[in-house]
Structure 1
Amino acid sequence: MLMSTQVRADDAADIGKLLRSGQVAEALQKVDSALAQRPKDAQLRFLKGLILTEQNKSAEAITVFSKLTDDYPELPEPYNNLAVLYASSGQYDKARAALEMAIRTNPTYGTAHENLGDVYAKLASQAYDKALQLDSSNNTAKLKLTLVKNLVGNTTGGTNPKTATAAVTTPTAPASTAPAASTKPAVVAANKPEVDKPEAKLAPKPAASTATAATDRDEEEVLKAVENWAKAWSNKDTNAYLAHYAKDFQTPKGETHKAWADERRNRIEGKGRINVKIEAAKVDVEGNTATVKFRQIYSSDQLTANSRKTLHMIKQDGKWQIKQERAGS
């Protein structure tokens, strides 16, 4: 076991040296070789995400960091780096959600707090820009916009979020097996490669194309619909809650829509207190359909549950509604 741990540490250290010296292609080749032997190794996967980020392969890096947050939700660094990638492509709501998860995981994570401030500044900049589009004589909005731009040190109002370079820890489980869901990776100092290259700062993205802007709007609308669904559930407003489901909603047990709705109404209205929170939501829109994956934090007088949920949604009559829901990832 000691020898196996040392081999993992040596691999990570060698990859870190290659990355630090600018030998990115060689680092990728070595990390892929190591991952072929230990596909569940969190440290190696994190390093691969860093390498892909260096190569400007943002989509692939997002996939790596997203899967890490699924498999090791207790590690804050993948959430932070995922947020940096989202911010660099102008997806600030997703960046905000990822950073909030990083901070929830580790409230003392200073980089995530700083990045969250930058993301909020960018969102504020966008809001003030919109206010000025609607009323160009709004001097208060002009002043606030100038203050925000000066705050982030960028005349375009962009943010410069920082990545975590190599702070993720490795699980103690054998490389050939995935750690149990309840097992947290232990801190192994030797497994932290000393990647001391400057923290990456991503430049703001140029103006998005019309198609990209439309997709971003759809994602925001979907996320807002899900948040309103959770709010109606929390308020025990069953009429508003049920209105978020499509007429052809696929009921979980194949019962009629009316039977399912009556059962939900009885369960919701029968509770003394309900609180439903949505965290780490990931939205994928394709035309008039969307998939939303998130962590649902549910609490009532009798029950507290923290689980993953997936909603399949469809846009009907201009509204995003739930076509199917299921628990789990």
Structure 2
Amino acid sequence: VSHQLIVDDRERASGIIDLLYVNAFVDFEVKRLTVGDYLVDNWLLVERKSMADLVQSIITGRVFQQASRLAKSDYTTVIILEGRAQDIENYHIEKKIGNGKKGVVYQAYDKALKLDNGNSRAQSKLSLIKDLFGTGSKTIVAANTATPTRPIRPANKKVEPAPAPKPAPEVAPADTSADAEGNVLAAVEAWRAAWASQNIDQYLASYADSFTPAKGRSLANWKEFRRGRVTKPSKINLTINNQKTEVIDDSNAKVSFKQYYKADGRPIRTNKTLILKKVDGSWLINKEIASN
């Protein structure tokens, strides 16, 4: 049985698109999706998140906006988390967000559940998101309870009451200086942890599409080179310290630090500077400068 699949074009760095090319049972198309990462057979909408992306999107609040949009869609929706629950410890999530489970995260849950209190389907789906992140009992997939057949649509629109006016889209508040610095450092920590754990997909996803590699390499050639350097060692020990962060404006920042790297050979100590820019609410690396 052949399946129809639409893949969001921003999923190229994950490597999944390359795997789909060799699967004869999937007929897929790559294009920009406004909600979700994958649309299967025009009824199942999938949002894919690695643990690093989950942590960063909780800190920025982006995950709750995504959950709200998923809840309002006409499709059966599911969120897939890649990785292990204990991987979250690698990103020091409680340190980054303040007071752990009783602090910023739970406030954000409540905010997400109030985004559309008149929509019973939204309430059901968003409650599942809260259960996923709040109880710790579900660490792989959270989905709504709709029967996976076809999108649920009104049977007779003529007798359906007039819909209530939709509220104006919520505009995320601009980062304060302290918030912006914390979010930038969280992005750098997610990059470091992905490198240390040899999670090549999340490591590459830490870089902006506009990233310019050193030595005149093309972005595609650099990614292939880094894929080998990150995945080949049997183990990587990577630490950074003495971070100095400069938030230049709402969309640009710079972080300098001392980097200690050890894989299968001798340790390498490097002074490094990352130039980051904010893209769709996430801080991504736009330039990397290293010196010994």
Q: TM-score, normalised by structure 1?
A: 0.35
Structure of greater Rg: 1
Which has a greater percent of helix?
A: 1
